[in-house]
Amino acid sequence: MSNLATILWRSAERFPGATSLVGKQGAYSYPELVKQVTRTGKMLSERSIEPGDAVLYQISNSPAVTTLFFAILSRGAVAVPVNPQWTSREFQVARERCHAKLAISEREDVSPDLLATCIEDLVTGEDVVEDGPVAREDADTAAVFFSSGTTGRPKAISLSHQNLMSNAEWVATRSLPSHAWGPGSHTCAVLPLSHSFALTCNQNAALYAGSALSYLDRFDSGELLNQIRNLNVSVTALVPSAASQLLDAQARAPGDVPLKYCLIGGAPISAALVDRFERAFDVTVVEGYGLTETSPVCAFRTPDTARKPNSVGVAAGHAELNVLDEAGRRVPSGTGELLVRGPGVCARYLDAEVATEDGWLKTGDLARIDQEGHVFIEGRLKDIIIRNGYNVSPVEVEQALEAHPGVDEAGVVGIADANVGEEIVAAVVVRSDAVTVEDLRGFCVSALARYKQPDRILRVASIPKGAKGQVLRDALRAKILT
């Protein structure tokens, strides 16, 4: 049986007395979690959810989102998590693209079929027969993630049960020493569990190993620090900006923390930040790299791997890494576009586009692999902006701004920022001086999720464009910086 949901049933058998989830309403043991997943799965079946059906959901980090994810998988259906910040328009577009048979949200304004409170209502429901997850094949789709693409239309990335299982297994068994995962250890989901980074490195790996999982429903560095101390959190995963803010919180409220390991990834990681974090918290930082198409971890520095400044580690044990050199040859070391192959690499997008060539995925990232296999990400061959670990398409932001009746054209670029990785900066040509920056900010609030909204909006006389009308982003970036 290849169903990813089997990890819960297995952990319930192996660790019946261990805590699985910790939420605002209390803690659940692994057997209690299996019962809750089974009740939720029954609710889905009563709504005619069958194997292969897509269930779209928009829920902040909580036991409910974990319960629903595994309930969907246990019925053989496909989980489609979307960001809690998404607007009604974004939610409905995703709903149509994945042909969701059922849409669930914690927000009434997106017009879901069900409100997420239906899951919480099942906590005290009647016991049901725990018949276990529906059998699935390795290649069957387990989840679909929406991630911004270079065309402005978010990519819908299909990850199979094998994709997610291979990544969860490697992170839970190989990324850290054996004592770091399992009963007695505790991890906190900080990034939204609609993000593949958090889904694998917080949720799936922890539950595979028998660890406890708690949640931060929205990022607040002070609240995170309190949770680490009060719940004895020993492992977590953060993007660089969150790590920096946690340092600031520690400076405001100094004291001991039980944290032992922290994975930092999702955006470029400075050696200075790693050094500050390790010294301030007396923890071991492990760096990693991945993308949604690789489930996501494909490069990692385990604690017993020598650190090289600015390296994201070496190929994770389940992945192969090469680069495409200037001659178009695939080579194991050198500089070029990073290529990934392995069981974590997706085979297709939702619309059946093939995502790989002979099993090798082109990442669009420029990388250097040294003779010892250490990977250094040196830039991107594509225009995607990475802000706080989220992929943001500049085209999507441009299209949103150009939908404003007072905007003639827009150009968007990422500008390096020590806090968030890249700042989203928009240059706009307006049709009238009456169109203010404040007007445009308000317009973006209704059109884009918060993490996609520009950090800065500049009114300009013109935007540099090429012969085909495309925004010349390097020229625009230079114009903004001068």
Report the domain count for the chain: 2
Q: Is the pLDDT of residue 220 over 90?
A: yes
The whole-number pLDDT of residue 43 equals 93
Same-domain check for residues 256 and 356: yes
Q: Is the pLDDT of residue 469 over 80?
A: no
Same-domain check for residues 317 and 438: no
Average pLDDT score over the chain: 92
Residues 250-273 have pLDDT tens digits of: 999 999 999 999 999 887 777 878
- Look up the CATH number of the domain holding residue 43: 3.40.50.12780
pTM for the full predicted model:
0.86
Residues 14-67 have pLDDT tens digits of: 999 999 999 998 999 999 999 999 999 999 999 999 999 999 999 999 999 999
- Highest mean pLDDT among 31-35, 346-350, 381-385 belongs to 31-35
Same-domain check for residues 216 and 308: yes
The whole-number pLDDT of residue 150 equals 58
Same-domain check for residues 140 and 14: yes
- Look up the CATH number of the domain holding residue 470: 3.30.300.30
Last residue of a domain, one of 354, 377, 400: 377
Residues 410-421 have pLDDT tens digits of: 999 999 998 899
Looking at 219-316, list the stretches that DSSP marks H as alpha helix, in order from N- to C-terminal side: 221-230, 240-252, 271-281
Sign of CA dihedral 27, 13, 120, 220: positive
Same-domain check for residues 34 and 163: yes
pLDDT category, 123, cuts 50, 70, 90? low
- DSSP state letter for 441: H
Q: Regarding predicted confidence, which is higher, 461 or 383?
A: 461
The whole-number pLDDT of residue 467 equals 59
pLDDT category, 152, cuts 50, 70, 90? low
Q: Is the pLDDT of residue 122 over 80?
A: no
- Provide the token pair at 396: 């999507």
Is beta strand 212-215 parallel, antiparallel or unpaired with respect to 186-189? parallel
Sign of CA dihedral 382, 273, 207, 306: positive
Cα angle, residue 209 at apex, residues 204 and 211 outer, rounded to 5°: 85
pLDDT category, 72, cuts 50, 70, 90? very high
Q: In the chain, pLDDT over 70 holds for what percent of residues? A: 97
Contact (CB, 8 A) for 36 and 196:
no
Contact (CB, 8 A) for 44 and 102:
yes
Contact (CB, 8 A) for 242 and 222:
no
The whole-number pLDDT of residue 110 equals 96
Same-domain check for residues 355 and 395: no
Given the structure tokens 């065309």, which residue do they identify?
Answer: 151
Same-domain check for residues 305 and 452: no
The whole-number pLDDT of residue 134 equals 96
Same-domain check for residues 370 and 392: no
What domain range includes position 26? 6-377
Same-domain check for residues 281 and 424: no
Between the alpha carbon of residue 173 and those of residues 19, 178, 206, 233, 257, the distances in Å are: 19, 7, 10, 19, 24
- DSSP state letter for 180: G
Contact (CB, 8 A) for 263 and 237:
yes
The whole-number pLDDT of residue 326 equals 84
- Provide the token pair at 93: 């577009």
Q: Is the pLDDT of residue 382 over 80?
A: no
Angle subtended by helix axes 30-46 and 6-14, to nearest 10: 150
Q: Which residues contact 337 (CB under 8 A, 6 or more apart)?
A: 323, 324, 362, 363, 364, 365, 366, 367, 381
DSSP 340-392: EESTTS--EETT--B--BTTBEEEEEEEEE-TT--EEEEEESS--EEETTEEE
- 367, HSE (Cβ side, Cα atoms, 13 Å): 33
Q: Per mean pLDDT, which range of 104-108, 125-129, 358-362, 374-378 is the poorest?
A: 125-129
The whole-number pLDDT of residue 126 equals 67
Q: Is the pLDDT of residue 355 over 80?
A: no
Q: Is the pLDDT of residue 1 over 60?
A: no
Last residue of a domain, one of 326, 349, 377: 377
The whole-number pLDDT of residue 52 equals 97
Q: Which residues contact 150 (CB under 8 A, 6 or more apart)?
A: 364, 382, 383, 384, 393, 395
Last residue of a domain, one of 356, 377, 398: 377
Q: Regarding predicted confidence, which is higher, 479 or 126?
A: 479
Same-domain check for residues 361 and 389: no
Angle subtended by helix axes 271-281 and 240-252, to nearest 10: 40
Q: Is residue 1 part of a domain?
A: no
Q: Is residue 274 part of a domain?
A: yes
User: Side chain identity at 201, as an amino acid letter?
Assistant: C
Same-domain check for residues 390 and 339: no
Q: Per mean pLDDT, which range of 10-24, 112-126, 329-343, 403-417 is the poorest?
A: 112-126
Same-domain check for residues 198 and 223: yes
Enclosing H/E stretch for 187: strand 186-189
